[in-house]
């Protein structure tokens, strides 16, 4: 059994302790129990739990509340537990994604007893698997009041750069219909694959929009990511479908995104194609104009950038809480066998958040 968490040790050491408590998605209970234990020992926090998600609040009656969130789970272990130190790096499963960020949260929870803003610390399960199991999503459904705040920081690895909000994503399946026939007598059929030409032409001609929000550039993208059609080498196909993924800026709602796609593919629809939304998730506005966000960026420094992907900050945005991604670790190392985090990066992240939240 790994040692119990000791929050008197520095953030890098706490990261190592967290790595040494395996918490592959769906098996976070041991770590969640330990996180709950150490948080309940802190008299300035009110602690609640839902499944293997743990939430702790300060309640000082301050004018602003910020939320610091991170997931407890990792991808499956790849012979990279227990942790090990090699020079300036700490190696192990989840070091970058995202036990270093969780370690920073825990250290702040333990030592920030007189913050300048009320703080909610969220530790949730099942982020690395399908969205229906996501612990933050479950908390948003079961206890949205636990996640209330003026601004949120998701401590996913960003290389120590503030990444504001996130893109939305939508997938649509555009299907054409034809008439099946023997390819030797093709004039008796109607080739559904050929009818996909207007769909592909629309994609080829599409000029993605760049949206500037709070000074951040969100570059949209519309791309075919799959195509299906054909029956056999001697048959004119009677059906073809193109799967299209739209990555849209967070100033569009899901309804706006769908309406835009239907406009783009209206010529194909006019020729008989159908458009079906198969998957969708909203984006998240960065909210860098909020006082807490502006103060955060000022302390962290550097040039914020847009998050050109979808992350769980969208779940906060859906609750009316603007959010950014910020954390130690290189996202390119996430899920790799050789995953590591720079030890100094963990300490710097803690120092910057402490400077933001302490008088």
Catalytic residue numbers, as ranges: 73, 127
Answer for the pair 170, 246: CB distance below 8 angstroms, yes or no: yes
Helix (H, G, I), strand (E, B) or coil at 124: strand
**Bond preceding residue 98 cis, omega within 30 of 0:** yes
Tokens of 177: 């219909």
Give dist(CA 208, CA 225) in Å, integer. 16
Give dist(CA 41, CA 281) in Å, integer. 38
Answer for the pair 321, 179: CB distance below 8 angstroms, yes or no: no
Distances (CA, A) of 274 to 107, 263, 301, 311: 53, 12, 48, 30
What's the DSSP call for residue 5? Answer: P
How large is the C-alpha radius of gyration of the chain? 24
Q: CB count, 10 Å around CB of 59?
A: 12
Give dist(CA 321, CA 122) in Å, integer. 14
Largest CA distance in the chain: 81
Look up tokens 């949205």; give the residue: 144
Tokens of 71: 């997931």
Closest Cα partner for 174 from 231, 247, 226, 97?
226
Look up tokens 């942790």; give the residue: 83
């Amino acid at each position: 059994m790994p040692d119990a968490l000791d929050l008197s040790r520095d953030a890098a050491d706490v990261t190592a302790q967290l790595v040494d408590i395996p918490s592959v998605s769906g098996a976070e209970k041991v770590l969640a129990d330990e996180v709950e234990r150490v948080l309940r020992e802190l008299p300035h926090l009110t602690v609640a739990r839902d499944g293997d998600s743990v939430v702790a609040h300060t309640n000082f009656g301050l004018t602003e509340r910020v939320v610091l969130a991170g997931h407890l789970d990792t991808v499956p272990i790849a012979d990279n537990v227990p942790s090990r130190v090699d020079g300036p790096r700490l190696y192990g499963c989840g070091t970058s994604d995202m036990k270093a960020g969780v370690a920073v949260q825990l250290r702040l929870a333990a030592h920030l007893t007189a913050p300048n803003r009320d703080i909610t610390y969220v530790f949730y399960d099942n982020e690395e698997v399908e969205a229906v199991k996501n612990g933050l999503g479950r908390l948003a459904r079961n206890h949205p009041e636990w996640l209330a705040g003026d601004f949120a920081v998701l401590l996913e690895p960003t290389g120590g750069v503030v990444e504001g909000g996130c893109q939305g994503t939508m997938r649509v399946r555009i299907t054409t219909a034809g008439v099946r026939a023997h390819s030797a007598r093709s004039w008796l059929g109607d080739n559904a694959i050929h009818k996909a030409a207007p769909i592909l032409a629309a994609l080829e001609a599409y000029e993605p929009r760049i949206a500037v929000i709070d000074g951040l550039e969100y570059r949209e993208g519309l791309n075919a990511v799959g195509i299906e059609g054909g029956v056999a080498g001697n048959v004119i196909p009677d059906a073809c479908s193109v799967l299209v993924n739209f990555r849209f800026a967070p100033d569009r709602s899901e309804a706006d995104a769908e309406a835009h796609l239907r406009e783009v593919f209206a010529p194909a629809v006019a020729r008989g194609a159908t458009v079906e939304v198969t998957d969708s998730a909203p984006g998240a506005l960065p909210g860098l104009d909020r006082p807490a966000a502006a103060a955060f960026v000022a302390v962290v420094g550097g040039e914020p950038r847009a998050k050109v992907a979808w992350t769980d900050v969208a779940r906060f945005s859906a609750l009316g809480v603007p959010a950014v991604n910020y954390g130690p670790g290189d996202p390119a190392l996430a899920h790799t066998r050789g995953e590591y985090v720079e030890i100094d990066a963990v300490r710097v992240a803690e120092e910057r958040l402490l400077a933001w939240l302490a008088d």
